[in-house]
Amino acid sequence: MKIGIPREIGPGETRVAVIPSMIPSLKHGTHEVLVETGAGIAASFTDQDYLQAGAQILPVATSLYESADAILKVQPPQIHPAFQKDEAELVREGSIYVGFLAPVANPDVVKIFTRRRITSFAMEYIPRISRSQSMDVLSSMSTIMGYKAVLLAANRLGKMLPLLMTAAGTVPPATVLVLGAGVAGLQAIATARRLGAKVEAFDPRPAVQEQVKSLGAVFVEMELPENIETADGYAREQSAEFIKKEMEAIAARLPKVDAVITTAQVFGKRAPLLISEEMVKLMRPGSVIVDLAAEQGGNCALTKPGETVEEYGVSIIGPINLPATIPVDASRMYSKNITTLFRHLFPKPDASLDFNDEIVRGCCITHAGEITNDIVKKSLG
């Protein structure tokens, strides 16, 4: 099988789907790997690095798409600026696509894939089960997001994070409140603690309380319902009454904190609103909110995706695609995830897809001219 790694064309995207050190594993003895020239440059991987790893370099994207039996990407297909054609149309008919897909948000791509009988796999739909942990790209990228969010907050904040005892007096530590203790939240807690901040964390799932405390943070408690998360480990969408109580618990902490990192998201739906405009007014002038749910609608009512706004003396940062700001390690982690998935999908050169397997079935979006994923099929009608 010929596996193609195109250069990402999305604005600001610096990651590459497969890094040179993973090429031997991806080739698996019989596969060929084709890489578009310059695919890894933004992540500090040169064409020479790929050549030395055993890949072939192709100078034009169309040549790669026409030759490849499988395309491995980061961003979902979009209009290619050089050809004014959707990348989904460039993927060879009847071939394979693996990468982020956001199928519900990209119905036209799904239609193209079904029409052209392309078998597609969405990285974000990989089931969160124990044997898929090494493929879990959402966790990998969330780790980077949680880390970088704290750095953004520290950079914007007009004070230092750690406690300092100096000849000029004692500098008290900054207080950071992390909303959501999933992968991104836990990494934010750990990073803020390493930088010396006093950290508090809130999450409606009681199961994460021990993890929060193990990182040295204070867990903010409230009365909780029993059905907080789904069987897949995602946060469940809660009632308006519960959200109101949740916001009251958060509001009580806001006058005492210097920075808030929000990470709350519900898979496939708009992010829950946790900080209203009135709640922002409770915060001290000079404080900072970093909203990691900005691309999904935001946890703060004043968040603007891709912008930093200042309201009532509070800076509200709405970052998008944070992993692309740390391309070397983001590409390294993504590459491990996608290579492991590909080898699971095709354990042998002549192996056919096993749709009885939970991982294969869960992340396959289109196959044989049909939408195969029930969630996507229901959403797109």
- For 296-306, b where at least 16 C-beta lie within 10 A, e where not — what string? bebbbebbeee
Residues 6+ apart with CB under 8 A from 104: 268, 375, 376, 379, 380
Decide if 319 contacts 152 (C-beta within 8 A): yes
Other Cβ atoms closer than 10 A to 151: 16
**Calpha distance 110→118 (Å, rounded):** 9
Other Cβ atoms closer than 10 A to 254: 19
| Long-range contacts of residues 58-63, Cβ cutoff 8 Å, at least 24 apart | 58/34, 60/36, 61/6, 61/7, 61/36, 61/90, 62/90
Show which residues are catalytic.
Answer: 128, 133, 136, 139, 234
Residue linked to tokens 């935001």 = 298
Cα angle for residues 263, 264, 270 (degrees, 5° grid): 120
**Calpha distance 31→24 (Å, rounded):** 9
**Calpha distance 282→255 (Å, rounded):** 5
**Calpha distance 227→249 (Å, rounded):** 19
| DSSP codes, 134-152 | GG-HHHHHHHHHHHHHHHH
Sign of CA dihedral 109, 361, 98, 324: positive
